[in-house]
Amino acid sequence: MADTGAITLALAAANDLLIEGAGVRLAAEPHLGIAKLQILAADPDVWFETALGIAPPPVLGEVEPGPVAIAWLAPGEWLVTGNEADVERVRTHCAEAAGNLGLMVDITHARATFELSGPKAASALATHCPLDFGDEAMPVGAARRSTFSDTGFFISRRPDRAGQPCFRLIFDQSMAGYAARMLGATISGDNV
């Protein structure tokens, strides 16, 4: 089958996304690097602390040690986000430290990342996801994997923007258009 460029067009469209309205702003984060770290050590948290010199993120949490953010995904599994060069440095360092016990993968180009913010951002998310996005259930620094309508996604609560909630949403690249359409319809339809 010939490549029609559909994936390239979908990626370009996702990277240019900006939708504002109804107290919500949805924007692409096109230059965000993403890596998945997985270690098979007897005590993954000790390995993490030894390899990176910092405490690992708490369960269902995210920490920001310097230029990257690192989120807990599962025991011995973390997601690193940030500037592509910084994420690659962390990924390479962890791969060297892990040897054959680790799987450190750059997944930047397989994912689409959006930032959703504003006073009604939590309501917009709740339209498509079963999680509780209230400040107590999803405080700044929280990170989760969940479902978004008919697909899976990763979400983290970022530091508030202008005093309003801010979330990072990461989808499989093939679902970026779907997620953008669903959120766009919610935002423009004032259904939040």
DSSP string, 148-192: ETTEEEEEEEEEEETTEEEEEEEEEGGGHHHHHHHHHHHHHTT--
User: Is pLDDT larger for residue 186 or for residue 5?
Assistant: 186
How high is the pLDDT of residue 117? Answer: 97
Homologous superfamily (CATH) of 32-108 is Heterotetrameric sarcosine oxidase (3.30.70.1520)
**pTM for the whole thing?**
0.88
Q: Mean pLDDT across the chain, nearest whole number? A: 91
How high is the pLDDT of residue 10? Answer: 47
Which pLDDT band, with edges at 50, 70 and 90, does 22 fall under? confident
How high is the pLDDT of residue 105? Answer: 97
Per-residue pLDDT tens over the stretch 70-106: 999 999 999 999 999 999 999 999 999 999 999 999 9
Domain 16-30+110-187, CATH: 3.30.1360.120
Q: Where are the domains of the chain?
A: 16-30+110-187, 32-108
- Examine domains 16-30+110-187 and 32-108 and report if their fold is the same: no
CA 130, chain centre distance (Å): 17
Residue ranges of the alpha helices (H) in 38-109?
A: 44-52, 84-98
The mean pLDDT of 32-59, rounded to a whole number, is: 97
Percentage of the residues of the chain whose pLDDT score is greater than 70: 91
Q: Packing angle between helix 6-15 and helix 176-188, nearest 10 degrees? A: 40
* DSSP-derived secondary structure letter, 69: E
Which residue pairs, CB below 8 angstroms and at least 24 apart, start in 41-45?
41/76, 41/98, 41/101, 44/75, 44/76, 44/77
Using DSSP's 3-state secondary structure scheme, residue 67 falls into coil
